[in-house]
Amino acid sequence: MWLTKKRWFLIVVIPVIGLCVKAGFWQLDRAYQKENLIEELTVGEALLSTSSEILEAQTHKRSYRVRLPVSRDVSEPLVFLDNRIQARVAGYEVFTEVTSIDGAIRFLVNLGWVPGKKLRSELPIVEVPERFVLSGLWIPVTESYLMAASQPERIASNWRVQSLTDILNEDLVSGIVLADGLLSHNAAGPSPRLGPATHYGYAVQWFLMAAVLGGMAGVHQFSRIGRFAMVGAGAMAAQDVPPFSIAQGDRARLFGLNIIGLRRGGFDSETISVLRNAYRELFSKGAPLRIALERVRESHGASNEVRELIEFIEGSKRGLCRASGPEISSD
């Protein structure tokens, strides 16, 4: 029963708060990624019409209009990228390698979108000329194309793949051209399904949830909470909580150092060990606090963190939360 009442916050709620905060930061990271993707897909003013211009473009991580004479080896297989949806119809985006007429560069072209066949064992028939003037949009290779590598499937003379990771190689220029008008449907191209604003909204929701759960801890308006201290959800802290410690329970009591918080805060193992020894001397041996403070000052006073702990205790006006171990005398 004691475990149920006293520690269920520490066992259940605090990990949930941590997960909420982690989810919030993950959503912020996704928002930053979407902002970068939108910037990459913003079309520049230049029209790329030579091999050298395309080679230059791959270093800019932006999109450009392209018009360039190219050729392809008709004996080479086409690549059908699976699970591409348009107007709620499943199909493929069709890719091929092309070479500039001057032979200087080779790169991938997204020829467009075609609906899938009723039988998975068949691929749509697509015809592409050997030589043509390629018009379209040059884009960087984005994450929407680069999922985990899979095993390509050979069907007749072509390939079906789940990710462009399966076919990209170092000989190709790092970019893709979304061709205009080569097939009946142009490829939609990569675009964020959820915009940055949506991810920012989700992040706020997760952080608010963490704040609500964390707000279940009550702290008296004149009580002080030390640096890197953690007050457990549901705790009622009517007295000061020393730095680097954990306080929890209906009437908040000290339950040791906030070891995980210290590690995440960048404290090294030596500092944590010194703080642990100081904490034991102060709160776990039952000595009067005045005497324990003098012992800690003599044995560990060289540590900045220990001095911070001592100064906090000596400056307390409301007294300290009691330790969960032996009682501390205030004499």
Q: In this structure, which topology does domain 217-314 adopt according to CATH?
A: Udp N-acetylglucosamine O-acyltransferase; Domain 2 (1.20.1180)
| Selection from 27, 62, 54, 80 nearest residue 204 by Cα | 27
Rounded to whole angstroms, what are the CA distances from 48 to 53, 145, 182? Answer: 6, 23, 19
Kindly list the domain boundaries of the chain, sorted by start residue: 42-179, 217-314
Q: Tell me which residue of 241, 248, 246 sits closest to 258, measured CA to CA.
A: 246
pLDDT computed for residue 216 by the predictor = 56
Q: Which two tokens stand for residue 175?
A: 């970019």
Q: Rounded to 5, what percent of the chain is helix, strand, coil?
A: 35, 25, 40
Tokens of 245: 């410690």
Q: Identify whether the C-beta of residue 275 lies closer than 8 Å to the C-beta of residue 305.
A: yes
- pLDDT tens digits along 236-267: 677 888 899 888 776 778 888 888 888 888 88
- Interval 207-216: pLDDT, tens: 777 766 665 5
Tokens of 29: 């990271």
> From start to end of 41-168, where are the E strands?
43-48, 63-71, 79-86, 89-100, 106-115, 131-139, 153-155, 158-161
Extract the residue ranges of the chain whose pLDDT is less than 70.
Answer: 1-14, 36-45, 141-150, 166-170, 189-195, 211-221, 233-236, 250, 325-331
State residue 4's pLDDT score: 46
pTM, two decimal places: 0.49
**What type of residue sits at position 246?**
I
For the chain, the residue count is: 331
Rg for the chain, CA atoms, rounded: 32
pLDDT tens per residue, range 33-82: 777 666 655 555 578 888 888 888 777 777 788 899 999 998 999 999 99
